[in-house]
Amino acid sequence: MEPVEILSVIRERRSVRNYIDREVSDEAIRAIIAAGIQAPTALGLQPWQFVVVRDRDLMRRVSDYCKPILAEKIGEEARPGTEEFLAALKDPEYSIFYNAPVLVLVLGARETVSSVLDCTLCAENMMLAAWALGIGSCWIGSAALIEQNPDFRAALKIPDDHQIVAPLIFGYPAPLLPKAERREPRITWIP
């Protein structure tokens, strides 16, 4: 890939919260994960493992489990702009996974000190690769709440020695609104 194309993918990628009803192939998911594992990893430890979830009923149950916990947390920390999300969490039809067809859990080995950072870099590579393939993604951090639930850990086959670092959804985007502009970064230059 040419540098200009890479920069274009980085510039244009966005979090997608609205998907069309179209499956993402196993081949595409494998390509996305293959891009993920090219991420930098401290000492070459590669502490990641992946769980690919296509079971929409299981995703619905995970969403239903997480929604009241999130609503309670937001209620405690109510800030401007959270009202709309709080209302969505109380809607029985709302899914924290935005009806995406695939959830990929990026798991990190607990005993590896750099696990969270390494898996975060892996997740970003995955989201960029997905965008380059015409597939949308979104990091659903709130789905990590299932860490607390042994039944969901078992259903999702999460090993005890791993933790959920990045719950990522993938699917083909529905028409998107214009991307929000980024603020100019604050940069301090030291000569």
CA distance 52 to 49: 10
Contact 140, 165 (CB under 8 A): no
Q: Is it the case that residue 78 has pLDDT exceeding 70?
A: no
Class in CATH terms, 17-59+95-171: alpha beta
**Each residue of 120-177: pLDDT tens digit?**
999 999 999 999 999 999 999 999 999 989 999 999 999 999 999 999 999 999 998 8
CA distance 184 to 178: 18
CA distance 113 to 47: 9
Domain boundaries defined on the chain: 17-59+95-171
Q: The whole model's pTM is what?
A: 0.92
Among residues 97, 91, 106, 15, the alpha carbon closest in space to that of 63 is found at 97
